[in-house]
Each structure stands twice: as C-alpha cells, then as structure tokens.
C-alpha cells in the first residue's frame, strides 16, 4: 500500500523530493538492478494528459529522487494536482505504487524574460 504525502510546488521553481523504498524488515531495498521508477502528476485522476516527473533511482540505498525542472513547473497550471510514484521490477512484471498524494502548485508572480 502506498503512503500518502501531499507536497507543494512553487510554479517556475525547481522541485524535488527523495523517497526511500524499504522492505518489510524496515531496511532500504537495493534498487540498483532490475528496477525502474515512474512518476506523473495530473490535474484530475481521469485527465488524459499528464506531466511526467523525473524519477531517478540512486542505487543501493533504496532512494528515488523525483524532480521537476523550473521550466516544466512554470508550464503547469496553478492549483491542486494528483501524483504518484510507481516502482517497476522485472521489466514491468511487478508494479508497486510507493507514494501518492496531492501537489499544490502555487502561482509564480515574478517572470523575468
């Protein structure tokens, strides 16, 4: 079962968070081989279009860094979005949702060309 964590993004600024995947024993899982992470955010659950978040596995520490660059964050509309982070292993044979929640995008005021 995924944990639910709500997050905030400042429109037009870099955004990132790190999630650590742990086994049933509470220790981080080695994700260095055979795992791929995917993350998206959508304005509504049923929205046909999504913003892909970068999801990079950092190696043997069980950590996944999820990020969105400033330009991509500027392109998204302000308001509440929904997101999740999935971990795929064995190609896509096993899929687990690790974290999910809402992201509030706060509007950017300063826009320097």
Q: Is residue 44 part of a domain?
A: yes
Whether 52 and 81 have beta carbons less than 8 Å apart is answered as no
- What's the whole-model pTM score? 0.89
Q: Is residue 112 part of a domain?
A: no
Element (H, E) at 95: strand 94-106
pLDDT tens across 79-91, in order? 999 999 999 997 7
Q: Is residue 14 part of a domain?
A: yes
Say which CATH number the domain at 93 has. Answer: 2.60.40.10
For residues 2-26, average pLDDT: 94
pLDDT tens across 32-79, in order? 888 999 999 999 999 999 999 999 999 889 999 999 999 998 888 899
Domain ranges, residue 16? 3-106
Cα dist from 52 to 22, 34, 56, 63, whole Å: 24, 21, 12, 19
Structure letter (DSSP) for residue 29: P
**Number of domains forming the structure of the chain:** 1
Nearest to 39 by CA among 18, 24, 54: 54
């Amino acid at each position: 079962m995924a944990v639910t964590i709500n997050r905030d993004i400042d429109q037009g600024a870099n955004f990132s968070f790190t999630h650590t995947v742990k086994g049933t024993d509470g220790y981080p899982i080695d994700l260095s081989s055979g795992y791929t992470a995917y993350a998206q955010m959508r304005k509504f659950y049923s929205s046909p279009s999504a913003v892909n978040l970068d999801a990079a596995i950092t190696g043997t520490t069980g950590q996944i860094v999820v990020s969105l660059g400033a330009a991509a964050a500027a392109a998204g509309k302000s308001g509440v979005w929904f997101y999740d982070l999935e971990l795929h292993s064995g190609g896509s044979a096993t899929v687990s949702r690790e974290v999910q929640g809402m992201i509030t995008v706060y509007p950017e005021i300063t826009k320097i060309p």
